[in-house]
Structure 1
């Protein structure tokens, strides 16, 4: 009987600058016990990928684990990748090459190997990366069997194929989805039967291909007890090293001793679940979408990505600048599926921390006018020594980014609440499932608590947005985004009529009456002055409401005009102060005259590996005054 060549690989990664407690938990619950178990089976060959920054963290903070990994290098093949785990197809070629070479050097220096295999972040494939991979000495990458199925190659996934672009070729190994869902959740005897079926296949080179998250072996729910307390991993290694039908190999060994199965060309896809998550229309999610659709699906993701692209064009030879740029390219913040991704404020804070540090290193203080987010409309970037403000004229001349330079913190790191497919899942769909078996996190159920509500926003949660509504507008319908909108200014296109004064004008409607609004900004050191004027012949009793959405790191420590922040707050004042002990700053709005103020927390309900997350994304603030025929509303925002 032919033996099955088991190509077993684990990929381990944590978002850049993840919390120390999360990192040490992953080390102690997954990474270290995995290698300690592997040490007991010297005949078990496997391949390993760790993102570069995670390897650096382990080297600095856990010498025992790092030394263990070094000592096992005779049975381990180390895979390269982008050092800070970017989606390679989403970053410029120069950054792609630099990140791969940086990880190559680390592996060569610490594990005495020159990597020829590369872990393709989130298995996002695009032909455009082939030339750069070849330039970095990469000969093969890992994709999914879904890549081949999507291309119509539905048979014979038991080896590797070749593909090419621009006369450069590379090998691709397709991961078995069946094995990915079985390991480590199924009994090892069932997995042995899966491998036996591969060994008896009539065609192919009999390679059983699995390369999946290292966190599955201890970090995912219930997997620590499964893998170590109950001995699943030990039993699996023992099965593979004693079986007469299984021979473990590294990918390099298999690649060097077997021919390709043929030539293929792959579509721009990722693994099957990612295709469902990235689909723009839930009705067609089963057909999948390309990964870059996340930039369309989540404007905040697009903004972060395009800010990084903008900074990449300006890169210098400064090593600190380049390191900040590469860290900002980390993939985790840009998408959402089972994991939080774009829904996690801490990940967005990290991305902005490095984006703002790059801006600080550039030291630009001149007005910049450029289309940052690639939507065909220019944004206006105002800079001072203490603040950086970006205005979006084609969305109500609102503010889309407001950075505190010395803290590397974006106060407008907000997230618009949008409908997700899993919001509509019904518990009845899962009642007949067997709950006695540990399941992969792809089968998680969203159970929303009775006292929680899922709100959806009608517009992007930027700042300095202009609403015209009825007098009955209250904090409840503001919070739920269900208030009546009589004006057309929130997301309208404003024309710049004076670039030096950042003065913008828009003609629109209030009810059925023509109206015109002008809005200007003056940025000076630590303050931003804003003048708004609305001209109309409206006679109805309406209210003007100016909306801001501000993000903070710790909401339970904020003080609003000297009072601790409550869930919802309504007050009247000429001045509003928000003291943030985390930033060690006081934010001040000065309106000159008394205005009514609504303040409420905006939270999202999102899917996560634990089931469901309720996450406070930002504070929504609304400043109200009675609408008049020719309304003037001037105020200052300052930071002390």
Structure 2
């Protein structure tokens, strides 16, 4: 072995708590990963480390396990631990507006200074998402350095020794140091003995020069090596101590003081390998994996992968959640006068910027119903705080809400938000403000094949023309191709801001019984304080008539389909009869009622004309298959009517969806209408 150079070693973890993650899961991560890692590290006071905890996780630890926070504070006090800052609620910084970026950085800095008596000098970026403009943002926010994946250095053209040295990133004359994380080595470490890992570090030291640094910074929530309580970490830290002659464990700030970087490197838009992989559609993801493997064998240059904003396109639901966040940002920043309320609304907005629910990386995230619900709840709470500061008048506005170069209509009532999209003429958001819940927060998986990419989102008042052969199973498999009008851009025929109401009109071909006819549909949406009336008019053009079946798809998103979260009732004149939420066909009904148990809300769907109805739970299978239980998304209800339209005739109907809180329903007791809220032993319906 040649001359051994000194090698700077940064050991650290980044730990996070996704907004909406179940308490039991967080406790399990604490017991299996967070506590064992810190307990072991504490026993080696001469081995420094860099630790990042998201603001939500710090709050959870302070509430549930203050003893661990005290341990961290002691290690900070004895200069063993350097606390790394970041956005307080774990946002993807390039995704959020500039003033929110700085606000989140400042909130985290303030919290850490109060809790640990020190100001963070560095910043951890959620999922390593980098944008060149972040150099100036971070510097303005008081940050001196950050970490990025070594594969991101690859994309900037760095090779060999450049992957083992910090660089300078600059924007608008402001700069920060960027330390490469040896992600490949961190990944391989899980299968290595500690002695083999130290031998690998020795080889790096032998071939390296001055200022060489290896940053082994991994996910602190992992329950396997190198963070498990199986003796692996203890053995590694012992070897680090034994090899102090050439292996120097340091904090990031100490290393940058001793070896300040001077070479600039302009890093492109990039992100972690996981996000670069999963932001691609399934076919491109497969090709990317093959290119990545070839690059690791030295056969090809590293592939760039996808960019996180592609999730907003691949998953329209993610794009709409992002649009809601941006809309809320505008509302919060328009608030004047009341600083306390503005700060409270701003905090809810920032909480709703927690990145986990906006994307999917093979588990949880966007696919997790609870995580999306938590984001929407925070954004709706921010809106409620804003409305409480002024005299509020219900209104309907036309705005390009989702930046698709079209106009969406947003009804903003005192207790109800209802957002209407021209594409499909359907409601895509339905917020009941008293419970801060978006009942159209649904999801359709797009991870299986190319066909998935074209599936319609699960909105409300999506129109399907169904032939006689179409059954519930066909509809559930999305194999009918029946939603022609769900893909059509509807025209605005009337807009009355006073009532308020919107009349939408669309014309398209419908094929039934071996013939095709041109059908015109009009839908008049009338918005009321706690309900929405939808008046349908369907007419056929030309001289030929049309016999077909119209189904109106209405999705309602609840916490789960368990009786403790959601119950479904048929409404009759004298009684409300409970049915289960399994897939079924209901032969005849005049109304349906869903009981949102945790929020204490009932959602009633009624029709002037009796209907048959399909009811089915919408679930997303785990990815990869077999990795877990299906994730419930919503209950899909499809009232249906048989139409026999002749030339010059029209079919008309009046549908309604309304909301009531449990206390309001119970106040109506004694007025002659039975309440399913009080009926704990309902009768069971017969289904078709």
C-alpha contact (below 8 Å) 2:168/2:263 kept by paired residues: yes
| Corresponding residue number in structure 1 for 2:402 | 373
Structure 2: distance between partners of 1:223 and 1:601:
39
Listed as ranges, the gaps of 5+ residues in structure 1 are: 424-453
CA distance in structure 2 between the partners assigned to 1:380 and 1:211 by the alignment: 46
Deviations 1:214-233 (A, max 9, x none): 012x3xxx559x821x3111
**How many angstroms does 1:608 deviate by?**
7.1
2:36 aligned with 1:20, yes or no? no
The SS at the match of 1:215 is coil
Q: Which residue of 2 aligns with 1:494?
A: 490
Partner of 2:84: 79
Summarize the alignment of residues 155-234 of structure 1 with structure 2, pairs less than 5 Å apart: 155-156=160-161, 157-203=163-209, 205-216=211-222, 218=223, 227-228=228-229, 230-234=230-234
In structure 2, the residue matched to 1:563 is: 578
Per-residue CA deviation, residues 148-187 of structure 1 (Å, 9 max, x unaligned), is 1112212221120112111111111111122220334421
Q: 1:276-287 counterparts in 2 under 5 A?
A: 276-280=277-281, 282-283=283-284, 284-286=287-289, 287=303
- Matched residue SS, 1:547: strand
Quote the offset at 1:456 in angstroms.
7.9
Deviation string, structure 1 residues 280-312 (Cα, Å, up to 9, x no partner): 463353440111111111111111111111111
> Which of residues 37, 42, 46 in structure 1 aligns to 2:45?
42
- Residues 317 and 457, structure 2, Cα contact 8 Å, conserved in 1: no
Is residue 140 of structure 1 aligned with residue 155 of structure 2? no
Distance 1:455 1:495, change over 3 A: closer
Contact 1:575 1:592 in 2 (8 A): no
Alignment equivalent of 1:321, drawn from 345, 348, 354: 345
Q: Contact 1:396/1:465 (CA < 8 Å) preserved in 2? A: yes
- CA 491–131 in structure 1, closer or farther in 2 if over 3 Å, else same: same
Distance across 2 between alignment mates of 1:542 and 1:272? 50
Q: Quick one: distance in 2 between partners of 1:347 and 1:358?
A: 17
Deviation at 1:333? Answer: 0.3
Going from structure 1 to structure 2, the CA distance change for 1:300 and 1:23 (only over 3 Å counts) comes to: same
Q: For 2:261 and 2:35, how far apart are their aligned partners in 1?
A: 35
- Judged with a 3 Å threshold, the aligned counterparts in structure 2 of structure 1 residues 610 and 264 are, in CA distance, closer, same or farther, namely farther
* Structure 1 position 569, deviation (Å): 1.9
Q: Which of 429, 434, 437 is equivalent to 1:401?
A: 429
SS at match of 2:630: strand
What is residue 624 of structure 1 aligned with on the other side?
640
| Alignment equivalent of 1:606, drawn from 600, 622, 635 | 622
Answer yes or no: is 1:478 the counterpart of 2:475. yes
Cα displacement (A) at 1:357: 1.1
| Aligned-pair CA distance for 1:338 | 2.9
Q: CA deviation at 1:603?
A: 1.0
- In the alignment, structure 1 residue 303 sits paired with structure 2 residue 320: yes
Mapped to 1, the partners of 2:465 and 2:228 lie a distance apart of 59
Find out whether 1:460 has 2:418 as its counterpart. no
- Give 1:416-427 correspondences, 5 Å limit: 416-420=444-448
Return the TM-score normalized by structure 2: 0.84
Deviations 1:452-482 (A, max 9, x none): xx98873222110011120222211111111
CA contact (8 A) 2:139 2:174 kept: yes
Which residues in structure 2 correspond to 1:416-565 (within 5 Å)?
416-420=444-448, 458-485=455-482, 488-500=484-496, 501-511=501-511, 512-537=516-541, 539-557=545-563, 558-561=567-570, 562-565=577-580
Aligned residue number for residue 299 of structure 2: none
**Whole-Å separation in 1 of the counterparts to 2:200 and 2:492:** 65
Q: Distance in 2 between matches of 1:292 and 1:133?
A: 21
After the TM superposition, list the runs of 4 or more consecutive aligned residues in structure 1 that deviate by more than 4 angstroms.
454-457
- Residue 37 and residue 609 in structure 1: after superposition, are their counterparts in 2 closer, same or farther (change >3 A)? farther
- Alignment partners' CA distance in 1, 2:70 and 2:624: 33
2:604 corresponding residue in structure 1:
588
d(CA) in 2 for partners of 1:541, 1:520: 23
More displaced stretch, 328-337 vs 612-621: 612-621
Contact 2:608 2:653 in 1 (8 A): no
Task: Indicate the residue corresponding to 1:259 in structure 2.
Answer: 260
2-side partners of 1:616 and 1:132: how far apart?
Answer: 39
Q: Which residue of 2 aligns with 1:247?
A: 248
The 1:261/1:279 distance shift into structure 2, 3 A limit, reads: farther
Distance 2:166 2:598 in 1: 52
SS in 2 for 1:79: strand
Of the two, which has the highest radius of gyration? 2
**How far is the alpha carbon of 1:34 from its aligned partner?**
1.3
The yes-or-no answer on 1:350 pairing with 2:374 is yes
Contact kept? 1:457, 1:481, Cα under 8 Å: no
How far apart, in 2, do the equivalents of 1:83 and 1:297 lie?
A: 27
Q: How far does residue 386 in structure 1 lie from its aligned partner after superposition?
A: 2.4
CA contact (8 A) 1:470 1:484 kept: no
Query: For residue 293 of structure 2, what is the aligned residue in structure 1?
Result: none
Q: Once the two structures are superposed, what CA deviation does each residue of 1:576-608 show, in whole Å capped at 9, x if it has no partner?
A: 222232222222122122100000111111327
Question: So what's the TM-score if we normalise by structure 1?
Answer: 0.90
Structure 1 residues 242-285: Cα deviation after superposition (integer angstroms, max 9, x where no partner)? 12431100000101110326211111011223211112463353
How many residue pairs get matched?
Answer: 601
Q: Distance in 2 between matches of 1:31 and 1:484?
A: 49
1:294 correspondence with 2:326: no
Structure 2 CA distance for aligned equivalents of residues 617 and 383 of structure 1:
25
CA contact (8 A) 1:559 1:580 kept: no
For residues 550 and 23 of structure 1, the distance between their equivalents in structure 2, rounded to whole angstroms, comes to 28
Equivalent residues of 1:159, 1:206 under 8 A apart: yes
Q: Structure 1 residues 610 and 280, CA, compared in 2 at 3 Å: closer, same or farther?
A: closer
Task: Report the equivalent of 1:450.
Answer: none
Q: Whole-Å Cα distance in 2 between the matches of residues 482 and 457 of structure 1?
A: 12
Which stretch shows the higher mean deviation, 126-135 or 325-334? 126-135
RMSD between superposed Cα atoms in Å: 2.0
1:374 and 1:168, CA in 2 relative to 1: closer, same or farther beyond 3 A?
same
Conserved in 2, the CA contact under 8 Å of 1:470 and 1:541? no
Q: Which moved more, 1:232-241 or 1:511-520?
A: 511-520
Partner Cα separation in structure 1 for residue 262 and residue 194 of structure 2: 29
Match of 1:118 in 2: 123
CA contact (8 A) 1:119 1:141 kept: yes
Q: Is the 8 A contact 1:184 1:232 kept in 2?
A: no
- For residues 454 and 599 of structure 2, the distance between their equivalents in structure 1, rounded to whole angstroms, comes to 28
Bigger Cα displacement from structure 2, 42-51 vs 193-202: 193-202
Question: 2:655 is matched with which residue?
Answer: 635
Counterpart CA distance in 2 for 1:3 and 1:539 is: 86
The answer to whether the Cα contact below 8 Å between 1:333 and 1:344 also exists between their aligned partners in 2 is: yes
* Corresponding residue SS for 1:574: strand
Asked if the contact 1:602/1:617 (under 8 Å) is kept, the reply is yes
**1:443: which partner in 2?**
none
